[in-house]
Structure 1
């Protein structure tokens, strides 16, 4: 039975959308497959890893029949990518084989029964819903994602805190050594709640969201979040646990502020980072006499020194930081200058903000080197 006939790129687009969450190793073999459902001309592609589920729609089905199957996602993707761009791709289902034909190329792929494919059970009622431009939500995630923990035993840190307030949404992440905070206004939002979005879900949304003003609908309930935009629906479980009180971490009352060109600081830190060790990524930051000095060294007694002219004539300050934490924020906040706020205390954290965005705040704890 012929299921689909379309150009290679037309089939490749929805498959690429969903295949990102497919793990190469699964406890359930069928989760390495993508679920293809055809209902007349409408075809849906669905992938699921039991935590995140992505579905997308396309309109290239052949005939009025309803049919569904599952096929190895990455194998199918590799075949489509290897086919020539010109000409149509035909997908046919016969017995337990999915046949992919394009010109004189033909592949017969093993399938697994669609009825055995696990799908996420959606909640009956959402507790909070709002809509915002895709580029605004993408920017919100881009500004904080790099501070999420990776495989921390404090599992609630392995994700992003989304805080809903009337007319406002915030995103916060921390790994215990640094914290990133950003926010945006949202029209029509009346609910007040928060949720921890898993790390994998955040990265998928960054990949899928467009840099335009088309809307993304966000629905929240206990234990589950749903994003709907364009032809895509992403449903994810939420991380259970109590996120740290981020308001207590963000310093207030800092009196010493230095405005620094972002690209110049980034380039200096990148050069200084060359002579740091893999285990100890520390750089020393010294402020004084209208100069910001950056230095690093390693076990081979090698040293790097950088200087930037800044407007700072207060007492000298000498503090060390993990250079990776500083480079992360400079790579993700696209602005001309950053504001570096400090206190005259070697144990005090640095607060990094940007002149044109009152919502963004990045806090880095000092380190000893």
Structure 2
């Protein structure tokens, strides 16, 4: 079997899906791309058993067929070839692949396509349509706060809950909780699913730059995202997501409005002097002044800065993990943010002062108990 394709076109598609390929696969065949040609269309599949991505490329081919090709070797070859058409010649008796360019010939060993894992087909699916820019924004807001704790599998992904009123995208690692709500994304029926962070990271990197409708089909076990020439199939996390609404405090009436970029820069400097095991920084709010400080008694390091803020409520002193706050501020885009606080032992909320129409962004961060209060 032979087919002709442009090096840049093929490399672009392979790069888009190569992130799913595991570095130490359970099954060696997963180190390969699955190439399938049918009617002049080349379908390329990459998989790690939990997540699979399929992309399509139009090629010049007179025959149909399929073969598994070593992923890393193929990408490295194409990266170092100039833009030109190349011919793939495949011998199904020996599973050898020969790539012919204008001035070179490269031969590598493939594998039997029949050994590549079958991609699950969904029956009795529900479908939701999501604009690609909304999906990218939702993933961007929530992905960083997913958990790495294998003992809490439900929190290793993002919880998506779509109702007749709105859609919520929620993530938490026990220290932070992020809820991104879209009022313009609804469904005739209630739908809930948890999608693993790796699948969402791959999805975000594959989403088109221009606005496009993404079709999300799912059943109790798997989900399929379809857009452009990409199809991403992932296994859902079969766990119950924590009752996050009950964790969000509703009476945080101590409000601190502050410039996001100024506070972020301040935290990056102050955190250098914090204890490396706790990353604790102290917020002391007095009138329209926020004093941010940190100390590491083991090494006699300490630092403090004062920032101007708008403050409604009583004076307050509260501790936070600087690393968590820095990540939260890095993932907000508003010029100013509001801290909604109540007392030193209760969770604080961080919300942007500016949001787009139909969206609501809420970021919760747990405090660190201070040993003393001035």
**TM superposition score category, shorter chain reference:** over 0.9
Which residue of 2 is the match for residue 138 of structure 1? Answer: 136
User: Is this contact kept in 2: 1:272–1:304, CA < 8 A?
Assistant: yes
Which residue of 1 is the match for residue 301 of structure 2? Answer: 302
Unaligned runs of 5+ residues in structure 2 are none
Matched residue of 1:19: which SS?
Answer: helix
Shift of 1:130: 1.5
Shift of 1:187: 5.5
Which residue of 1 is the match for residue 235 of structure 2? Answer: 237
Matched residue of 1:112: which SS?
Answer: coil
Matched residue of 2:10: which SS?
Answer: helix
How do 1:255-266 residues align onto structure 2 when only pairs under 5 Å count?
Answer: 255-266=253-264
Shift of 1:221: 1.0
Q: 1:2 and 2:2 equivalent?
A: yes
How do 1:202-221 residues align onto structure 2 when only pairs under 5 Å count?
Answer: 202-221=200-219
Q: 1:89 and 2:74 equivalent?
A: no
Distance 2:194 2:172 in 1: 12
Which residue of 2 is the match for residue 367 of structure 1? Answer: 368
Which residue of 1 is the match for residue 339 of structure 2? Answer: 340
1:273 aligned residue (245, 257, 271): 271
2:286 aligned residue (281, 285, 288): 288
Shift of 1:225: 1.0
Distance 1:61 1:125 in 2: 36
1:180 aligned residue (162, 178, 181): 178
Distance 2:345 2:150 in 1: 24
Q: What TM-score does the superposition give when structure 2 sets the normalisation length?
A: 0.93
User: Is this contact kept in 2: 1:288–1:314, CA < 8 A?
Assistant: no
Distance 1:277 1:33, change over 3 A: farther
How do 1:119-198 residues align onto structure 2 when only pairs under 5 Å count?
Answer: 119-126=118-125, 128-186=126-184, 189-198=187-196
Which residue of 2 is the match for residue 107 of structure 1? Answer: 106
User: Is this contact kept in 2: 1:129–1:189, CA < 8 A?
Assistant: no
User: Is this contact kept in 1: 2:123–2:219, CA < 8 A?
Assistant: no
User: Is this contact kept in 2: 1:51–1:236, CA < 8 A?
Assistant: yes
**How big is each residue's C-alpha offset from its partner over 1:307-335, in whole Å with a ceiling of 9 and x where there is no partner?**
21012264321111111111111111211
Shift of 1:246: 0.8
Distance 1:117 1:44 in 2: 14
Shift of 1:58: 0.8
Which residue of 1 is the match for residue 326 of structure 2? Answer: 327
User: Is this contact kept in 1: 2:252–2:348, CA < 8 A?
Assistant: no
Distance 2:61 2:11 in 1: 17
Distance 1:106 1:178, change over 3 A: same
- RMSD over aligned Cα atoms: 1.6
Matched residue of 1:145: which SS?
Answer: helix
Matched residue of 1:144: which SS?
Answer: helix
Distance 1:332 1:99 in 2: 46
